[in-house]
Amino acid sequence: MFAVLRRFTRPALAATAATLLLAGSSAFAQNIPAPNYDEAKVPKFELPDPLVAADGTKIATADDWRDKRRPELLDLFAREMFGKRPSVAPEKIKFEELTSDSNALGGKATRKEIRIYFDAPNQTPKADLLLYVPNDRKGPAPVFLMPNFEGNWATTDDPGVRAFEIAGHFWNAGKTPEQTRGHVKGRWSFDRIVSRGYAVATLCYEEVDLDFDDGFKNGVHPLFGERSDAGDETASIAAWAWALSRALDCLETLPEIDATKAIVAGHSRLGKTALWAGAQDERFAAVISNNSGCGGAALSRREFGETVAKINKSFPHWFCGNFKKYGADVNSLPFDQHELIALIAPRPVYVASATRDTWADPKGEFLSALGADPVYRLLGTDGFGDVKEQPKPDVSVGATIRYHLRTGGHDVTDFDWIQYLDFADETVVNKR
């Protein structure tokens, strides 16, 4: 119950802020229809073919995909949805180990906290990466990298994790950091992950960029250089995704980590972020989207649950200005979300839904995974295996593309983690 309340409280607040900011604009004038939850009322739509280029040519070979279609789609997603892909001088990025304890998780793990400076000469902005590495391992450990909402200390009641104020932190407004210690530990199966031989790393996304609409002035945005007036300003999801790549830079420097086996994962808005990070940065060996919904794995054209019009209104800062024009006509989008998943090909991808998470459109998430299959096949993988229909709940299906529909609500549970660990074993550690 509490999780449900929390989920709806914050967007309501954000929506209020967005309402004020958008008053008078055309986005505000647009009437947002009530969400549709009736399968019979999903409009007819045709998905763009990922294997047809913008100029109409058929993409027939892996080289065509790599040289023509993949760059074209990356550019389209950047220009029309997430905003420009940032580039920041590498010498601005620095890492500093803050703490290390080889006796964490009852002696099973070494815990480290490493500060990532995004603009080292100025010491800020920065984000602290929390890392658990299994002590019982034969070599460098494969690693899950998954951003968190409320602060590293909220993922665990391990008292060794520092709790600190994040100025402007929206999720924990009105609470002291200590009051949120361990608050979402149920989402983080650290013990299980480490026992299976994986390291796990997380950082709080609001250290990178606060999650509200301030016209892209706060967090890491000022580092991204010239502002764009072409509607393609780097938006917040893109900023968070960029930071995940910087976290991977950091993991690459650690001898105890095998950064060639880094799996980027995310839940909800951070699932959208993980998909965009994984689509762009091919160093991520695999990608996991947990209940990412609209703007993540779910197809925009289905208009089931949250829609493009609604998400643009509630969270205008997640996507760039150009994305706003598609709310009224999703069929004019030059892509759909199956092509975001296709950008991860041929690397393994896991899309997970939950039965009660109808806002995120579980079926649209499934169809998106299915829609990426032709690209995975073209690139020589077994794609979604023999999957054609959405499976019944609580069964993991697929091959290099994988999917499950967990019984329950919008969350990350131990069930999810068990599937992700099996997936990582089969597709990343013992490659198919």
Catalytically active residues are 268, 410
Q: Enumerate residues 6+ apart whose C-beta is below 8 A from 425.
A: 196
Neighbours of 245 (CB within 10 A): 20
What number of residues does the chain have? 432
User: Which residue's CB is nearer to ligand GTR, number 207 or number 373?
Assistant: 207
CA distances, 34 to each of 112, 146, 305, 309 (Å): 46, 32, 9, 11
- Between vectors from CA 352 to CA 282 and to CA 64, what angle results, nearest 5°? 35
- Separation CA 197–CA 139 (nearest Å): 10
Full DSSP string of 298-346 = B-GGG--SS-HHHHHHH-TTTS-GGGGGGTT-GGG-S--HHHHHHTTTT
User: Which residue's CB is nearer to ligand GTR, number 4 or number 23?
Assistant: 4
Contact between residue 289 and residue 297 where contact means Cβ atoms under 8 Å apart:
yes
Contact between residue 77 and residue 54 where contact means Cβ atoms under 8 Å apart:
no
3 state DSSP class of 394: coil
User: Which residue's CB is nearer to ligand GTR, number 14 or number 141?
Assistant: 14
Q: Enumerate residues 6+ apart whose C-beta is below 8 A from 334.
A: 48, 54, 76, 80
Q: Tokens representing 289?
A: 């989207």
Distance in Å, CB of 266 to ligand GTR, minimum? 9
User: Which residue's CB is nearer to ligand GTR, number 315 or number 376?
Assistant: 315
Distance in Å, CB of 9 to ligand GTR, minimum? 10
User: Which residue's CB is nearer to ligand GTR, number 110 or number 289?
Assistant: 289
Distance in Å, CB of 140 to ligand GTR, minimum? 32
User: Which residue's CB is nearer to ligand GTR, number 13 or number 230?
Assistant: 13
- Separation CA 376–CA 118 (nearest Å): 34
User: Which residue's CB is nearer to ligand GTR, number 83 or number 293?
Assistant: 293
3 state DSSP class of 403: strand
Beta bridge partners of 268: none
Contact between residue 359 and residue 37 where contact means Cβ atoms under 8 Å apart:
no
Token pair 């990426």 in the structure block, residue: 372
User: Which residue's CB is nearer to ligand GTR, number 343 or number 412?
Assistant: 412
The contact set with ligand GTR (CB under 6 A) reads 7, 11, 268-269, 293-294, 306, 311, 314
- Separation CA 262–CA 247 (nearest Å): 11
DSSP 386: T
Q: Tokens representing 221?
A: 């945005």
- Separation CA 249–CA 283 (nearest Å): 10
In 82-126, which ranges are continuous DSSP H helix? none
